[in-house]
Structure 1
Amino acid sequence: MTPTKDAAARDLTLRSNKQIRYYEVGDPTATPVVLLHGSGPGATGWSNFSGNLAAIAEAGFHVLAPDMPGWGDSAAVKTTEMDHDVDLVDFLDAVGLEKVALVGNSMGAHTAVRFATLHPERITHLVTMGASLGKGFPSSLFGPQDGPSEGLKVLVRAYKDPSPENMKALVEIMTFDKARFATPELTAARSEAASARPDHLQNYVEGLPDGAPIPFKVDRSLIPNIAVPTLLIHGRDDRVLHFETSLWLNAHIKNSRLVLLNQCGHWAMIEHADEFNRLVIDFLANN
């Protein structure tokens, strides 16, 4: 049974004095899995993974989904002061987890990949979906070559004005099945969640010249050193971050496999939740 948002919510303070909200489901003595959300306005551990937390926990895992600093109910942080790798290390230390499986979407995938290159002793498995390698990705065979993707332009517009209309455009571009997922209820909820934290919105927009959402990028030369079992999931119809990023990762991480989902946008964990849950559970249990 999926717990309520309030029942799963936890709060703690990192050693940097940043306040963190996170969501926790499952047996605390079970194998730990940390889910890392993307960078969209209104994105949180809960909004990205509410359809996955309980299923993964019921399969025998201890599941945690933090709101990273700068998002959700966690502390506001200016882009120039943001380092999600440091925050993730501090979070794991605060909750007493030495080694975890990391599952990340978009910005969260980038954080997970970077973490795997910097802290190989602290990660058991790496799962990405809609992975990002940051600005200046070295190959663009299929994706846009003249600046941000169509989806990233919509995302930035929604940060500047998180109106229901702009949130509807955002949800539509994040998913393949717009009729099913871009509902008035979801777009209104995302608009309200984003508008509730004007400090996050302002920091993101002001930080765009400094590399928002995250200024510190993974050193791509270290990616071939990743040795943990790696599962790369990407939507064939992703209009935010092209699946060629995951093709590149698959070519450079030796112990990796790629699942490319047709009729799937940027939010595989939402749009194909049951299949996503099965893939992740099987991968974590058998690798």
Structure 2
Amino acid sequence: MPASASTVFRNLLPPEGAAHVVESPEGPVYYLDIGSGEPLLLVSAFGPQPGSTAWLLYREALEILARSRRCIVVELTNYGHTGPVTFHEPAHDVCVRAVVRVLDHLGLDRVAAVGTSMGATTCLDLALQHPERVERLVIGACHASTGGDPYLLAPFPSEVWNLHQASQADPHDRGKLRQLLRALWFDGDLVTDDLLDEILAFRTEHMDHWAAGAHSVSVPHSNVAALPEITVPVLVVHGRHDRMVPFEQALMIMSHLPQADVVVLNRCGHWPPMERPEEFARLVLEFVRGAEKGQR
């Protein structure tokens, strides 16, 4: 079992008893199981690798969601505790396998799936590869495809991507990590010295995950032409100030999914569940409750 939450990792690790591991041929898959009620799948996000844990992203939103839902939160391969895995294929395919292993382990046949950033693209891939497993999708801050999709207005690669590459090349550099996080999120005050200490310590303890990511090759794969195959209800939640994935990507996804609605959250960067947790949780709950009322 992973270490329980402590003073050192209070921002990165959940309370004791919330974290679990499924063993697989590709190594351990880490997930949180919090709350009770109808199951809700959540998948974590792109960020410092390693260091982008499920608890860091969702902890405040989970306080609300877990009051009425059983929240199953899967960490992306190599970003938190899941892995390490070295691969040569679309990165999201690796993450889909991890998600399916957790669903199978828990005996969950069909769920509403929620994801942000790379976790959202993983949820899209899950809906395309295993359509029978997904009843609704809440996504955002994402590209549709592994490797990204063309931008019409924004520069590519994005500012955050360039800062991420610089931080990954020097994973113990405090200044580069600070620059990355301040660009990743709208509110620079979230980037505290304590949080930097925690992420750097976590990275030091999980350098095998960093090495696996550094030696992996994510093969680009476009999902754009396949998006209309997704027929379940979709909600896209995107930060107005996302400097990793520009808002035009939300519009692109909506243009290929006529059933999708888009919500833009102001004063919000690449991680809506962290920066606007109350609004994010409210949107998710209203959307998934629509399934219970038979709404599309």
TM-score of the pair, normalised by structure 1: 0.88
User: Partners of 1:221 and 1:131 in 2: how far apart?
Assistant: 16
User: Partners of 1:26 and 1:173 in 2: how far apart?
Assistant: 32
* 1:18 Cα offset (Å): 2.1
Which residue of structure 2 aligns with residue 151 of structure 1? Answer: 160
| 1:237 paired residue among 241, 247, 261 | 241
Helix, strand or coil: the match of 1:5?
Answer: coil
- Mean CA deviation greater in 18-27 or 161-170: 161-170
Q: Is the alpha carbon distance of 1:4 and 1:84 closer, same or farther for their aligned partners in structure 2, counting shifts above 3 Å?
A: closer
Which residue of structure 1 aligns with residue 6 of structure 2? Answer: none
Letter in 2 for 1:105: T
User: Partners of 2:19 and 2:35 in 1: how far apart?
Assistant: 13
* 1:4 Cα offset (Å): 4.4
- Mean CA deviation greater in 79-88 or 67-76: 79-88
Contact 1:39 1:107 in 2 (8 A): yes
Letter in 2 for 1:134: T
Contact 2:31 2:73 in 1 (8 A): yes
Aligned pairs (5 A) from 1:100-119: 100-119=111-130
* 1:197 Cα offset (Å): 0.9
Task: Extract structure 1 runs of 4+ deviating beyond 3 A.
Answer: 215-218
User: Partners of 1:275 and 1:136 in 2: how far apart?
Assistant: 27
* 1:136 Cα offset (Å): 5.1
Which residue of structure 2 aligns with residue 137 of structure 1? Answer: 149
* 1:219 Cα offset (Å): 2.6
How many pairs are equivalent? Answer: 272
TM-score of the pair, normalised by structure 2: 0.86
Identity rate, percent: 30
Letter in 2 for 1:176: F
Which residue of structure 2 aligns with residue 249 of structure 1? Answer: 253
Which string of whole-angstrom CA distances, capped at 9 and with x for unpartnered residues, describes residues 190-247 of structure 1? 222222211111222233xx22xxx463532110121111110111111111111111
Contact 1:18 1:69 in 2 (8 A): no
Which string of whole-angstrom CA distances, capped at 9 and with x for unpartnered residues, describes residues 3-31 of structure 1? 943231112213x352122111112xx22
* 1:99 Cα offset (Å): 0.6
Letter in 2 for 1:266: H
What do you get for the CA RMSD once the two structures are aligned?
1.9
Which residue of structure 2 aligns with residue 220 of structure 1? Answer: 224
User: Partners of 2:42 and 2:168 in 1: how far apart?
Assistant: 23
User: Partners of 1:22 and 1:164 in 2: how far apart?
Assistant: 28
Contact 1:25 1:54 in 2 (8 A): no
User: Partners of 2:196 and 2:261 in 1: how far apart?
Assistant: 33
Q: Which structure 1 residue ranges, 5 or more long, are not aligned?
A: none
* 1:122 Cα offset (Å): 0.7
Helix, strand or coil: the match of 2:88?
Answer: helix
Contact 2:240 2:269 in 1 (8 A): yes
User: Partners of 1:61 and 1:216 in 2: how far apart?
Assistant: 35
